[in-house]
Amino acid sequence: MFRDRHHAGEILADMLASEKIGSAIVLGIPAGGVPIGIVIAERLHLPFDVAVVSKITLPWNTEAGYGAVAFDGTVKLNKPLLLRLGLTEKQVQDGISKTTKKVKHRLTLLRGDRPFPELSGKTVILADDGLASGFTMLTALEAIRNSGADHIIAAIPTGHDHSVSAVAKPAERVFCANIRSGLSFAVADAYENWYDISDKELITMLLK
């Protein structure tokens, strides 16, 4: 188990350092990917920024999602899940609209009016704190590829084996220290100290 997200970032940074990545930029997916990405960037002496992506949650359960929206407007839906859920087209579109507004708000909150970093032709290390369904990471990968990144490396401390395999398809490389399987999977189970990070904490991290 990882002690906390900082420790997880250290483990990933050591894994990445052994590969001699070279010049790159680290992007963290808020909220949990930010402290991990910051540690990776500091240890590898690379620039850091945020890649805001948010899952589209169910009308009756804000913890479960059926897709995600990225910082550039990229929308990715879990179509097999949608077929089972029986949501109406209006419910789906309302969810996308609500999540898009959330992403825009968080972009302003965390980045202000700073332009998004130029990714064309660059290597990007994309960090999050874990993969359950993997849809948030998959949406982020698509958005970063759309931004012109030449080489994308996914860095996650823990993930379900199916999700890690899915992420390995659009990414050039995946670094994951703890891969698990089974019907019951929770990212938090890989951490001794786990809690939801507030926007206030994120802002403090980014200002350091």
Residue 142's pLDDT is 96
The CATH code of the domain that includes 18 is 3.40.50.2020
Average pLDDT across the chain, whole number? 94
Identify whether 116 is part of a domain: no
Are 127 and 156 in contact, with CB atoms under 8 Å apart?
A: yes
Tens digits of per-residue pLDDT, 105-132? 999 999 988 999 999 999 999 999 999 9
Task: Tell whether 157 is covered by a domain.
Answer: yes
Rounded distance, CA 45 to CA 65, Å? 35
- Does residue 44 lie within any of the structural domains? yes
Whether residues 137 and 74 fall in one domain: no
Confidence of residue 63 (pLDDT cuts 50, 70, 90): confident
Which residue in the block uniquely carries the two structure tokens 């929770």? 186
Residue 143 lies in domain:
5-51+122-207
By the 10 Å C-beta count (0-12 exposed, 13-18 middle, 19+ buried), 98 is classed as: middle
Question: Between 23 and 108, where is the model more confident?
Answer: 108
pLDDT per position as a tens digit, 52-62? 999 999 888 87
